[in-house]
């Protein structure tokens, strides 16, 4: 597990920000004005009723204008960190502050098959193999389903995704469901694995990724999931979608204001439903539609950093986005964009960083690309640790002992400490002859081999047979009622 953390002053770790406190404050005031002046449309009556009872102004049945005081109050009750466990109940993720954890994305329609090089529709086996790979990769901290399986009934594919994640990895899960009933079933499965409803609340290992239509239009299924999970005290992300130039202003600031007004709407509703309900807000902001291609880019530089700064200003954990690329292949562009986005999210301190391994602006995934990203994360972790300057590490006595004409290769100190330096697993460091003697393979070829080796050798800890059967029974029930 990477556990990459920026701004650790004791270790002098690297740290960056884009927005000043004054800019964050102005953005926050803009969000409050949008909520009070323009308001939001809510397509779930319970959410409207909760806000109306708390003092919000409701017109036209579901247009809700939210007073600033409700936002201010919600910020006093929302937790500043969100903890996720592994399926054995060990607390492995403490999302908050500047601590970064990294995971895959969800719902890619296609996969770049590492065995054939073919771009094809994803199937359930791809999810299963992806989870085995994630279980083995030390710098992948949580999992999402990665792919949409085309070989199961589409009405219940989210149940198959959840079952695969529970069966093929022990790591924390962030799941996506196509409708509210899928969210309910996902929690039933998680409660079975956890050993009961209370056990899942006290040791949560699953969080829901909730997408919202826009910052000002909150669809029924998103609100139903929010209310259900808040009522149980279970974690979720609440991510309004904003496309600059289409569903939001083209300017970064305008898109940020609309998007975060929507996130704060979700925050208020969650805290009205249950004070102290865990809540995760967007960690990217300023999205735009590429007006030349009509593609919504994933790896663009302009949306990076400021949303994480704003969430830190509010003291709310973030769901960030990195390790992705617009490239159609596992190539130089894919590696460059993955590295740049992972580095920026780490140095700004995004908390739950997803979409690692994405290609083609989120339409395609790749297992070798995920392996390459794992190596990039290893590099970033070593970079972010900072440097210890102390009497012990300065080694002045040793330098004096060896003197101007000596060397340190056969020193006991070197033997005892050389393993503390960073060494790559996938990146090539041999000289030319050494590289050639190993086959002269490219990074992509080495990544392919690494994927095959892991899939052959790694055996995730299986669920107990009775638990696995109970989980599958929920999938079968959904199949029978579709």
Determine the Cα–Cα distance for residues 259 and 284; give it in Å rounded to an integer. Answer: 10
Q: Could you tell me which CATH class the domain 4-19+75-384 is placed in?
A: alpha beta
Exposed/middle/buried for 479, CB within 10 Å: 0-12, 13-18, 19+?
middle
pTM metric for this prediction: 0.95
The tokens for 240 are 């309004």
pLDDT of residue 287: 87
Q: DSSP per residue over 379-403, as a string?
A: HHHHHHT----SHHHHTHHHHHHH-
Report the interhelical angle of 367-384 vs 124-136 (nearest 10°).
20
Task: Give me the pLDDT at residue 3, please.
Answer: 66
What's the pLDDT at 77?
98
Per domain, the residue ranges of the chain are 4-19+75-384, 391-420
Would you state the pLDDT for residue 9? 46
Q: Are 219 and 213 in contact (CB under 8 A)?
A: yes
Judge contact between 337 and 300, C-beta under 8 A.
no
Q: Measure the CA–CA gap between 368 and 448, rounded to whole angstroms.
A: 5
**CB neighbour list of residue 315: distance below 8 Å, 6 or more residues apart:** 75, 80
Mean pLDDT split into 10-residue runs, the chain, 482 residues: 61 82 98 98 98 98 98 98 96 95 97 97 98 98 98 97 98 97 98 97 98 97 98 98 90 96 98 98 91 91 95 98 97 98 96 98 97 98 90 96 96 95 96 96 97 98 96 97 86
Measured CA to CA, the distance from residue 219 to residue 266 in angstroms comes to 11
357: nearest Cα among 346, 373, 343, 381:
373
Q: Return the pLDDT at 7.
A: 58
The pLDDT score that the predictor gives to residue 12 is 61
Please enumerate in sequence order all residues whose Cβ is within 8 A of that of 228, keeping only pairs 6 or more positions apart, or say none.
180, 183, 184, 187
């Amino acid at each position: 597990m990477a556990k990459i953390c920026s701004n650790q002053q004791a270790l002098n770790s690297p740290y960056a920000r884009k927005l000043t406190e004054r800019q964050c404050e102005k953005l926050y005031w803009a969000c409050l004005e949008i909520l009070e002046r323009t308001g939001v449309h809510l397509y779930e009556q319970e959410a409207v009723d909760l806000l109306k009872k708390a003092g919000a102004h409701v017109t036209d049945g579901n247009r809700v204008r939210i007073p600033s005081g409700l936002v201010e109050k919600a910020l006093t009750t929302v937790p500043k960190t969100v903890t996720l466990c592994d399926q054995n109940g060990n607390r492995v993720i403490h999302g908050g502050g500047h601590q970064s954890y990294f995971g895959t994305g969800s719902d890619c329609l296609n996969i770049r098959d590492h065995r054939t090089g073919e771009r094809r529709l994803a199937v359930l086996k791809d999810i299963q193999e992806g989870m085995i790979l994630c279980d083995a990769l030390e710098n992948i901290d949580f999992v999402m389903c990665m792919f949409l399986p085309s070989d199961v009934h589409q009405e219940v594919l989210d149940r198959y995704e959840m079952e695969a994640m529970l069966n093929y990895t022990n790591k924390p899960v962030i799941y996506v469901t196509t409708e509210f009933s899928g969210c309910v079933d996902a929690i039933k499965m998680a409660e079975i694995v956890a050993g009961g409803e209370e056990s899942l609340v006290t040791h949560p290992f699953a969080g829901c990724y909730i997408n919202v239509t826009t910052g000002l239009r909150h669809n029924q299924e998103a609100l139903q999931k929010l209310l259900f999970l808040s009522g149980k005290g279970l974690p979720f992300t609440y991510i309004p979608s904003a496309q600059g130039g289409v569903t939001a202003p083209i300017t970064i600031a305008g898109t940020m204001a609309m998007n975060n007004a929507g996130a704060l709407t979700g925050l208020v509703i969650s805290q009205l439903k249950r004070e102290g309900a865990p809540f995760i807000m967007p960690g990217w902001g300023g999205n735009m539609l590429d007006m030349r291609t009509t593609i919504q880019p994933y790896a663009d530089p302009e949306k990076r950093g400021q949303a994480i700064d704003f969430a830190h200003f509010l003291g709310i954990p973030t769901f960030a986005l990195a390790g992705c690329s617009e490239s159609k292949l596992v190539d130089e562009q894919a590696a460059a964009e993955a590295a740049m986005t992972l580095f920026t999210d780490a140095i700004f301190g995004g908390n739950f960083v997803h979409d690692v391994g994405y290609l083609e602006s989120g339409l395609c995934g790749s297992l070798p690309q995920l392996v390459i990203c794992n190596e990039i994360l290893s590099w970033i972790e070593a970079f972010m640790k900072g440097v210890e300057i102390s009497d012990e590490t300065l080694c002045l006595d040793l330098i004096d002992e060896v003197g101007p004409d000596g060397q340190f290769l056969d020193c006991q100190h070197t033997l005892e400490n050389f393993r503390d330096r960073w060494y790559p697993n996938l990146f090539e460091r041999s000289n030319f002859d050494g590289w050639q003697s190993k086959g002269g393979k490219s990074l992509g070829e080495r990544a392919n081999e690494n994927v095959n080796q892991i899939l052959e050798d790694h055996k995730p800890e299986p669920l107990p047979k009775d638990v696995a059967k109970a989980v599958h029974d929920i999938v079968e029930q959904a199949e029978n009622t579709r």
